[in-house]
Structure 1
Amino acid sequence: MLDKKQIILIKGTREGLSLFIEESASFHDVIKELKEKIMASKPKEEEPIVSVNVKLGNRLLNEEQEKALRNIISVDNRFKITAIESDLISREDALKWREESEIKAINRIVRSGQVLEVEGDLLLVGDVNPGGKVVSTGNIYIMGNLYGIAHAGVTGDREAFITASYMKPTQLRIADYISRAPDYESDGVYMECGIIDEDQDKIIIDSLKVLSRKRKEISGFERRINNG
């Protein structure tokens, strides 16, 4: 626990230094004490530049404050910031996280030549016809027939998966993995999911029941699907 009278606490680590900033102190006082401590511990010219991990606790820095911090913990003073960590997130980051983690429920038919693309998870109540395409940064749930193309985890999430009431796709894609129609049964499959199997290094079609085993962090929504 930090001494309440001490605004800056510096600890040595294998990687360099960890610099803890008392979260309740004014930024003016933080900068004042930081200058004193950095100058007092400045390495000699022949010594290597020291890496510094700054830990803010429950504090956020604006652009001007971060710039002031970096001006002090700088290469000129023989230090280099490798990370600035805060236990808080900005409003912009919170809104982005909400956008990316929210399930988007859409009721429509995706026809040939149409592309439906969303941020986060997609719940489509309707069919994806041949020539149609659905794309999501998260998981894809289709309460209908999947005949076209589905691409989940489009930004690189290999933990994403695709489910459909009836699955006979032209193509499944998860992150950078692609699986085409010949990989599936000729008559299609009901209430199945497509996931990446790391051992086989490809997309496989399996029962929805495997999600609770292979994807430990699935939400209550997926569990309700699994349990009917």
Structure 2
Amino acid sequence: MNAAKHHVTIKGVKDGLIFLMDDSCPFDMLLNELEHKLSNTHQQFLSGPLIHVQIKLGKRYVADEDKERLRARFASCGNLLIQSIESEVALQSEAASSSLSIMKGMIRSGQVVNYEGSVMLLGDINPGGTLTATGDIFVMGALRGTAHAGAKGDKEAIIAASQLCPTQLRIAEVISRPPDEWVVGSLYMEFAYVRNDAMEIEKIQHLHRLRPNSPVAGA
């Protein structure tokens, strides 16, 4: 595993262990790294007396089913007992407004990237590439592939891009018009949102009417 970036940090304290979970990466990435550490690099924790574990999720919203996935993984470690699973975000709505992940680079054809919360991509989405988020999506580049915001049903989510010429946009279950109907070559950054169960497109200057606190409102 590439050790350049650790998404799971384990710290020993007087009462046991604290697992610090990065709140800016996909949840499945956390689980994969947790599995690697418990199965390979940190096996020493799995032998010996009972160890109390605290899991700290930062500002990540984690649904009950994902908490159960965490509990199930630790349950297979006979001596690791979860004492608490803590998040600074109590509600999903708070998570959407407070958590903005930053991704740098390009999403290429065939690549699918998923995020919990909102994400800002500093790069392009190429045709055939897909970016999905449970919150908003901001693309500081060309959106030529597929973007799906509000992936868990949030119709208040938006999709914004410096160059909006997608293969498909989706907000919650609302899907954009066919790609051959897009006007390509706009000089302005635009954003998509849902109104009356249909997708609408506006110049980014109008975003402040919907989201006065958005990181790109009034850009």
Question: Does 2:125 match 1:128?
Answer: yes
Decide whether the 8 Å contact of 2:164 with 2:184 is kept in 1: no
Could you state the TM-score of these two structures normalised by the residue count of structure 1? 0.53
CA distance in 1 between partners of 2:190 and 2:95 (Å) = 26
- Tell me which amino acid in the other structure corresponds to 2:207: L
Aligned pairs (5 A) from 1:32-43: none
Number of equivalences: 132
Residue of 151, 155, 160 corresponding to 1:154: 151
Q: Give how far 1:203 is off.
A: 0.8
1:185 and 1:153, CA in 2 relative to 1: closer, same or farther beyond 3 A? same
Tell whether the 8 Å contact from 2:126 to 2:145 is kept in structure 1 after alignment. yes
CA drift at 1:204? 1.7
| Cα pair 2:136 2:149 within 8 Å, conserved | yes
Whether the 8 Å contact between 1:164 and 1:190 is mirrored in structure 2 is no
- CA drift of 1:219 comes to 2.1
95, 112, 115: which one aligns with 1:115: 112
- Alignment pair present for 1:141 and 2:142: no
What is the identity, as a one-letter code, of the residue corresponding to 2:204?
Answer: L
The separation in 2 between residues aligned to 1:194 and 1:99, in whole angstroms, is 21
Shift of 1:108: 1.1
Distance 1:157 1:208 in 2: 20
Q: Which has the larger radius of gyration?
A: 1
Kindly indicate whether the alpha-carbon contact (under 8 Å) linking 1:168 and 1:188 is maintained by their aligned counterparts in 2.
no
How many percent of aligned residue pairs carry the same amino acid?
Answer: 37
Contact 1:128 1:145 in 2 (8 A): yes
Is the 1:174–1:196 contact (alpha carbons within 8 Å) kept by the matching residues of 2?
yes
Consecutive unaligned residues in structure 2, runs of 5 or more: 1-84
Letter in 1 for 2:89: A
2:188 alignment partner, one of 187, 190, 201 = 190
Distance 1:157 1:186 in 2: 27
CA root-mean-square deviation: 2.3
After TM superposition, the runs of 4+ consecutive aligned structure 1 residues lying more than 3 A away are 90-93, 95-101, 186-190
Over 3 Å counting, the alpha-carbon distance change for 1:152 and 1:218 in structure 2 is: farther
Does the 8 Å contact 2:124/2:142 carry over to 1? yes
Q: Answer 1 or 2: higher relative contact order, Cα 8 Å, separation at least 6.
A: 2
Name which of structure 1's ranges 90-99 and 105-114 shifts more when overlaid on structure 2. Answer: 90-99
SS of aligned partner of 1:158: coil
Calculate the TM-score normalised by the size of structure 2: 0.55
Call closer, same or farther: CA 1:99–1:220 in 2, change over 3 Å: closer
Deviations 1:147-192 (A, max 9, x none): 0000000111111111101111000000100013133114456301
Alignment of 1:169-208 (within 5 A): 169-179=166-176, 180-187=178-185, 190-198=188-196, 201-208=197-204
